[in-house]
Amino acid sequence: MKRASIISKQGKPELRRMVPEVAGWLTSHEYQITADAVAREFWPAAEPAEREELIDKKPDFVVVLGGDGTLLATARNVARAGIPILGVNLGSLGFLTEIRQDEIKKALEAIDAGNCELSQRGMLQCRVCRNGKCMAEYNALNDIVMNQRAVARITDFEVMVNGRFVSQYKADGLIIATPTGSTAYSLAAGGPIVSPEVSGFLITPVASHALTNRPLVVRDTAVIHVKMIVTREQAYLTVDGQQGEPLEEGDIVECRKSEFKVKLFKFPERSFFDVLRTKLKWGER
């Protein structure tokens, strides 16, 4: 039997209409459905399954009803199993959840017929090393951010790429981002927009205290080491804006290409540049 899962963002009024629409379509096309607690409020017949349980349920794909944050959390849970995600935008911007609400049936029909393209997005693996020991390990689809919990406190970061010294940044924070994450925090901090097809990582300082420090793009085969030189307050590592880990002076954050990729469904007729024009309101020609 065909299987699909529904993951939803809590508190969205659109779910009252969207969940029955999606679940009804899936049921009528002979899919067995699992859903998280939020979606099951509107479709109780679905088998319970939260994000953390999706791999065990082995769905053919996951429908995410929410914004980019909901998709990011889901992606980190299913990436290692290669489960594709259909992101339906119920948020405000939504670079990842690019399917509009009025396109959901068209998208489901294309997936069911095998006519929907997959965009494979590389992930970033980071390890927090302290006194030669690995304290934590994460995989990020968008970015990892190192900064201080206190407001307006600078930190000194020493950055090495493939064992070669790059710079010692004095900044409010430092972002290591994937091309997918180039439209997230890195963009707000002055970083470039990078097409998802580019094999690279971005190193973007946040409010650098040296005017010559600029965002840097390196190949995704590179290994990036960031050493916390001076932390005047409690420093913190944040993964995709959702997970976190305290940092101490002398800690080394090692970043490299993850072995996992996130698979996102997309319409073949809609390019990355179409999404940029729509989301950033660049205007039509």
3-state secondary structure 104-145: HHHHHHHHHHCCCEEEEEEEEEEEEEECCEEEEEEEECCEEE
Q: Would you list the domain boundaries of the chain?
A: 2-116+267-280, 123-260
Write the CA distances from 164 to 128, 178, 269, integer angstroms: 19, 21, 42
* pLDDT score at 3: 98
Closest by Cα among 60, 68, 62 to 50: 62
Paired tokens of 26: 């899936």
The secondary structure of residue 159, as a DSSP letter, is E
Q: How is residue 124 annotated by DSSP?
A: E
For residue 125, give the nearest of 247, 262, 260, 216 by alpha carbon: 260
Tokens of 40: 């099951």
DSSP 96: S
Sign of the dihedral defined by the CA atoms of residues 48, 49, 50, 53, in that order: positive
User: How distant is the alpha carbon of residue 84 from its chain centre?
Assistant: 14
Residue with structure tokens 């607690």? 37
What pTM value is reported for the model? 0.94
Contact 104, 87 (CB under 8 A): no
> Which tokens belong to 2?
């065909």
pLDDT in tens, the chain (285 residues): 899 999 999 999 999 999 999 999 999 999 999 999 999 999 999 999 999 999 999 999 999 999 999 999 999 999 999 999 999 999 777 889 989 999 999 999 999 999 999 999 999 999 999 999 999 999 999 999 999 876 667 889 999 999 999 999 999 999 999 999 999 999 999 999 999 999 999 999 999 988 889 999 999 999 999 999 977 678 999 999 999 999 999 999 999 999 999 999 998 888 999 989 988 888 776
Cα dist from 170 to 143, 154, 158, whole Å: 20, 6, 9
Residue 160 forms beta bridges with which residues? 165, 225
- Rg, C-alpha atoms of the chain: 20
pLDDT for the residue numbered 149:
72
**How many whole angstroms separate alpha carbon 45 and alpha carbon 254?**
45
Whether CATH 3.40.50.10330 fits 2-116+267-280: yes
Catalytic center residues: 68
Q: C-alpha distances in angstroms, 187 versus 142, 191, 205, 269, 274?
A: 11, 5, 11, 26, 18
* CATH 3.20.20.80, applies to 123-260: no
Place of tokens 């290692």: 80
Instruction: State residue 32's pLDDT score.
Output: 98
